[in-house]
Amino acid sequence: MLWYPYAQMKTMAPPIEILDARGVYLYTRERPLIDSISSWWAMIHGYKHPELTQAIVEQAERFSHVMLGGLTHEPALRLADKLAEILPGDLDYCFFSDSGSVAVEVALKMALQYYVNRKQSGRVSVLALTDGHHGGDLTLQFKEDYSHKRRVGVLALNDAYHGDTFKTMEVGDDEDYHFILNALGRRADVYHIPTTLEALEDAFAQHGDELCCMLVEPLLQGGGGMLMYDLEFLRRARELCDEHDVLLVFDEIATGFGRTGVRFVAELVQPDIITLGKALTGGYIGHAVTVASKRVFDAFYDDSPERALMHGPTFMANPLACAAALKSIEIFERDDYLAKIKRIESIARRELADLNDPRVKEKRIMGGVACIEVHDPSTLTGYAQFARERGVFSRPFKNIVYTTPPYIIEESELVQILGVMKDFFAVARNASR
């Protein structure tokens, strides 16, 4: 029995079986469907891209996997170099893992241990000399003079999504997880705030000295419902993190590789740690990475084994995944994907401009994402089936329908997706008359 994700197995609609896939198309028994959401944002080059397939096959013919404990290999070394090159500033230290959730776990562990490691340094760096009562001997007294309190808190955003493992559920704010966290009964040191400057200032004023990090999906909160917010918020977050000595972590698992219109939001505001996943391998194999700045790495780099990062996913830096990621990044740069994403954005603006329906609360467009939010989620009942009958695979959730298409999509195919999104409202309105 196959157990499906995010689904009540008893009542779920039967999933669509995919027999083949090429470009933006999924081939089903019924008809080809355009994948309007790139298999959860990942398949940016579309399916069966010959170069990506070839890169994986060539690596498989050498070796498909070796562990990274005590061993290393060229695809991993090259990918770490490449990521360091394309990420801004000194985000140069790449820790690979097998999924996005794990990459966020690693980022949170790094942030927590960053202060633990520094605290240990603090303990030995301050020495007090006292006159002992032992015939004038000098006694060295080690004093714990560490100005920080326990830095275990995480500042995160309302409606945040950072993955499905326990810690990522805690730093997230997805109502689907609240009941299971309640069942666990443990209160995490996580503060969730809306994306307003006022809430940000308040949070730092109240909790600034108990935080190890502030963790955000920058500019665009995908799992929360394609929520978008201003760069100004991130700029101010950076300043406040600096003032309060808090690490800023960007979860760019969804936004990375162009989805917001820039390659990484980190190019606009520099975080201390970034996580990437989803499109990292062009979607061809699951993989993720946590990339730390020099300042973070340096807090671990020491003679003491206690200051090491104790983590090591079995399949970290899997050679097939690294080969796919290297090829994906090469194609992204060579074929000017940022221009493709700009084109997607302008087509979406043009096509959705004339959608004016009282049931629509807001239309949101940013880079390679277009979304329609409705007032009442029940409005979207039947949408997936409606889209499927018109040749589009879509998966609305909460109160939104959206598209995050493969960047290689043709204008006519994108117009078809957006047309389905608009027509749904036209047809539904006619039916209700």
Task: Select 45 or 259, whichever has its Cβ closest to ligand PLP.
Answer: 259
Burial letters for 343-352: b for 16+ Cβ neighbours within 10 Å, e otherwise? ebbebbeebb
200 backbone dihedrals φ, ψ, rounded to 5°: -65, -50
Q: How far apart are CB 341 and ligand PLP at their closest, in Å? A: 17
Among 75, 153, 208, 223, binds ligand PLP (CB under 6 A): 223
Catalytic-role residue among 161, 191, 284, 402:
161
Residues 161, 173: Cα–Cα separation, whole Å = 6
Kindly write out the interface string for residues 85-124 of this chain, putting x where it contacts ligand PLP by CB under 6 A and - elsewhere: --------------xxx--x--------------------
Please compute Rg for the chain using Cα positions. 24
Q: How far apart are CB 253 and ligand PLP at their closest, in Å? A: 4
Q: How far apart are CB 127 and ligand PLP at their closest, in Å? A: 44
Catalytic-role residue among 6, 10, 137, 354:
6
Kindly write out the interface string for residues 367-406 of this chain, putting x where it contacts ligand PLP by CB under 6 A and - elsewhere: ----------------------------------------
SS3 387: helix
Task: Select 59 or 281, whichever has its Cβ closest to ligand PLP.
Answer: 281
The answer to whether residue 278 is catalytic is yes
24 backbone dihedrals φ, ψ, rounded to 5°: -90, 0
Residues 400, 376: Cα–Cα separation, whole Å = 9
- Helix pair angle (74-86, 319-334), 10° resolution: 40
Catalytic-role residue among 115, 251, 327, 383:
251
Token representation of residue 180: 């299971």
Q: Are 214 and 233 in contact (CB under 8 A)?
A: no
Q: How far apart are CB 355 and ligand PLP at their closest, in Å? A: 26
Residues 260-319 that bind ligand PLP (CB under 6 A): 277-278, 288
Residues 85, 164: Cα–Cα separation, whole Å = 30
Q: Are 173 and 159 in contact (CB under 8 A)?
A: yes
Task: Select 170 or 251, whichever has its Cβ closest to ligand PLP.
Answer: 251
The answer to whether residue 191 is catalytic is no
Task: Select 266 or 347, whichever has its Cβ closest to ligand PLP.
Answer: 266
Residue 161 binds to ligand PLP (criterion: CB under 6 A): yes
Helix (H) or strand (E) holding 1: none
Q: Are 22 and 53 in contact (CB under 8 A)?
A: no
Return the residue nearest ligand PLP (CB atom). Answer: 100
Q: Are 299 and 118 in contact (CB under 8 A)?
A: yes
DSSP states of 12-24: PPPPPPP-EEEBT
Kindly write out the interface string for residues 228-267 of this chain, putting x where it contacts ligand PLP by CB under 6 A and - elsewhere: -----------------------x-xx-------------
Catalytic-role residue among 167, 278, 327, 340:
278
Strand 32-35 vs strand 25-27: parallel, antiparallel, or unpaired?
A: antiparallel
Among 75, 222, 256, 258, binds ligand PLP (CB under 6 A): 222
- Summarize as ranges the residues that interact with ligand PLP (CB under 6 A): 99-101, 104, 161-163, 217, 222-223, 251, 253-254, 277-278, 288
Residues annotated as catalytic are 6, 161, 251, 278
